[in-house]
């Protein structure tokens, strides 16, 4: 029987091998879960999961430890609900929100509100001074408490003599003082949350369970424009009316996102040698049907590949999640994989992964794709059959990680189906024993 330390090392190595296209001893199972899965398994409501940080954290520890996995999900930000209340978040609706306009039912997950926060007419100003513009318009619009940033001075003004004094004037404003008070409150909460996550990581590690790196969430630049700046409708109309501005904006977002990953990595205290940093990049508008290959090639793919290339240079493993179907895009995906052999994970939802394996299995590790309908609806023997088929089709030469198809394990998944998925890997996944 291995001690937890050995177990941890063995599991991490197994995943590393698979990612770098070497055959480990067994196909790794590395589920992400939808954030509410551990809560629902423990009889908590969605609201409780968002407001009772400690309970949620303990529930996650307990639920995940039931399964013999090789890499474990990281924790949802503990106390996300309260923190969002304090900041006056306007970009999502969530259960238990203090403001009824943004409140969902206690048993609903949080959901993002998608709309055009920035109009097409604002492109010029935004492109001229992105930091200033986002600070003075987007951030205050999206978070009520940060509203006083609307008054933040133009930076050129600070170039006058006594720049420090001039800068201080902003903070004398009555509303700004009030904001700082809320800010302190939020910060205290946030520190608590981060400490909670570190504690979770540490406890998991002590049990021999490596946790996927927390900070490494990223987005395709086009999706950022579509989700949080122009809205999908706006971004798609821009393809016709403002194509150059749209492309310039996507381009502009790459470097800040790479730098942002450094900042958040520091606060969570990873990565370290016992962590594997898979950068989860959930893709939204790149799927088949959302745009043509021509539009994909012009607007979506160039800045996404630039971002992934930048991550690889920082030793981060990009893991784009190809949600929906990407059958029409496989040539693009294969071409990029060929030039970044063994440095990425491609995670698929509704694309035929056995076909993907044939096409690009020599270059990139594939992850997926047990359907949500099976993990929710079962029965367990159907789950087993599905996992077996995936393993047989994808295991050769390493380069395969087992996980669910939609954000890993869906919130409403049943324990017996998740167990069946886990058991199937331990039954059929061996290269050598």
The binding site for other proteins (CB under 8 A) comprises 34, 93, 105, 107-109, 111, 113, 232-233, 236-237, 239-241, 289-292, 295, 323-325, 328, 350, 371-374, 376-377, 406, 410-413
Task: Using alpha carbons only, give the angle 93, 97, 98 rounded to the nearest 5 degrees.
Answer: 140
**The CA-based dihedral angle spanning residues 327, 330, 332, 333, taken in that order and rounded to the nearest 10 degrees:** 120
The minimum distance between CB 13 and other proteins, in angstroms, equals 33
Residue nearer to other proteins on the CB measure, 38 or 140: 38
Is 154 exposed, middle or buried (CB count within 10 Å of its CB: 0-12, 13-18, 19+)? Answer: exposed
Nearest approach in angstroms of CB 60 to other proteins is: 18
CB of 350 to other proteins, least distance (A): 8
CB of 89 vs other proteins, minimal distance in Å: 16
Closer by beta carbon to other proteins, 134 or else 291 = 291
CB of 328 to other proteins, least distance (A): 8
Residue nearer to other proteins on the CB measure, 411 or 422: 411
Nearer to other proteins, 21 or 424 (CB): 424
Is the CB of 106 or the CB of 173 nearer to other proteins? Answer: 106
Question: Smaller CB distance to other proteins: residue 68 or 114?
Answer: 114
Least distance from other proteins to the Cβ atom of residue 116, Å: 12
Question: 72 or 110, CB closer to other proteins?
Answer: 110
Q: Rounded to the nearest whole angstrom, what is the least distance from the CB of residue 295 to other proteins in the complex? A: 6
105/153 with CB nearer other proteins:
105
Residue 391: CB minimum distance to other proteins, A: 20
Task: Give me the least distance between CB of 39 and other proteins, in Å please.
Answer: 13
SS3 letters for the chain? CCCHHHHHHHHHHHHHHHHCCCCCCECCECCCECCCHHHHHCCCCHHHHHHCHHHHHHHHHHHHCCCCCCCECCCCCCCHHHHHHHHCECCEEEECCCCHHHEECCCCCCEECCCCCCCHHHHHHHHHCHHHHHHHHHHHHHEHHHHHHHHCCCHHHHHCCCHHHHHHHHHHCHHHHHHHHHHHHHHHHHHHHHHHHHHHHHHHHHCCCCECCCCCCCCCHHHHHHHHHCHHHHHHHHHHHCHHHHHHHHHHHHHHHHHHHHHHHHHHCCCCCCCCCEEEEECCCCCECCECHHHHHHHHHHHHHHHHHHHHHCCCEEEEEECCCCHHHHHHHHHHHHCCCCCCEEEECCCCHHHHHHHHCCCCEEEEEECHHHHHHCCHHHHHHHHHHHHHHHCCCCCEEEEECCCCECCCCCHHHHHHHHHHHHHHCECCC
Of the pair 232, 359, the CB lying nearest other proteins is at 232
């Amino acid at each position: 029987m291995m001690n937890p330390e050995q177990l941890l090392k063995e599991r991490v190595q197994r995943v590393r091998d698979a990612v770098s296209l070497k055959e480990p001893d067994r196909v790794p199972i590395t589920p992400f879960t939808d954030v509410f899965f551990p809560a629902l398994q423990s009889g908590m409501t969605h609201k409780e999961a968002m407001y009772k940080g400690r309970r949620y954290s303990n529930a996650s520890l307990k639920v995940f430890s039931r399964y013999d996995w090789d890499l474990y999900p990281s924790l949802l930000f503990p106390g996300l609900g309260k923190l969002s209340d304090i900041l006056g978040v306007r970009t999502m609706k969530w259960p238990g929100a203090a403001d009824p306009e943004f409140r969902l039912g206690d048993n609903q997950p949080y959901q993002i509100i998608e709309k055009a926060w920035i109009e097409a007419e604002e492109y010029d100003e935004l492109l001229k001074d992105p930091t200033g513009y986002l600070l003075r318009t987007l951030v205050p619009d999206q978070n009520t408490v940060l509203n006083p940033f609307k008054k933040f001075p133009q930076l050129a003004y600070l170039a006058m003599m006594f720049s420090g004094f001039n800068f201080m004037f902003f903070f004398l404003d009555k509303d700004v003082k009030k904001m700082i008070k809320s800010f302190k409150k939020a910060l205290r909460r946030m520190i608590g949350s981060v400490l909670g996550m570190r504690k979770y990581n540490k406890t998991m590690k002590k049990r021999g369970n490596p946790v996927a790196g927390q900070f490494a969430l990223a987005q395709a630049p086009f999706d950022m424009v579509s989700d949080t700046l122009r809205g999908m409708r706006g971004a798609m109309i821009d393809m016709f009316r403002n194509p150059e501005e749209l492309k310039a904006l996507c381009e502009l977002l790459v470097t800040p996102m790479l730098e942002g990953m450094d900042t958040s990595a520091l606060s969570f205290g990873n990565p370290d040698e016992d962590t594997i940093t898979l950068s989860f990049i959930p893709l939204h508008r790149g799927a088949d049907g959302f745009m043509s290959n021509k539009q994909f090639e012009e607007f979506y793919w160039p800045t996404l590949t630039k971002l992934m290339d930048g991550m690889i240079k920082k030793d981060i493993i990009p893991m784009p999640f190809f949600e929906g179907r990407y059958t029409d895009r496989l040539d693009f995906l294969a071409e990029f994989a060929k030039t970044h052999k063994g440095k990425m994970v491609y995670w698929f939802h509704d694309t035929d992964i056995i076909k993907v394996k044939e096409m690009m299995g020599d270059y990139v590790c594939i992850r997926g794709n047990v359907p949500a309908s099976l993990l929710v609806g079962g029965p367990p023997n159907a789950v087993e059959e599905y996992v077996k088929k995936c393993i047989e089709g994808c295991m050769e030469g390493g380069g395969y990680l087992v996980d669910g198809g939609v954000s890993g394990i869906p919130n409403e998944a049943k324990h017996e189906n998740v167990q069946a998925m886990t058991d199937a890997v331990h039954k059929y996944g061996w290269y050598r024993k």
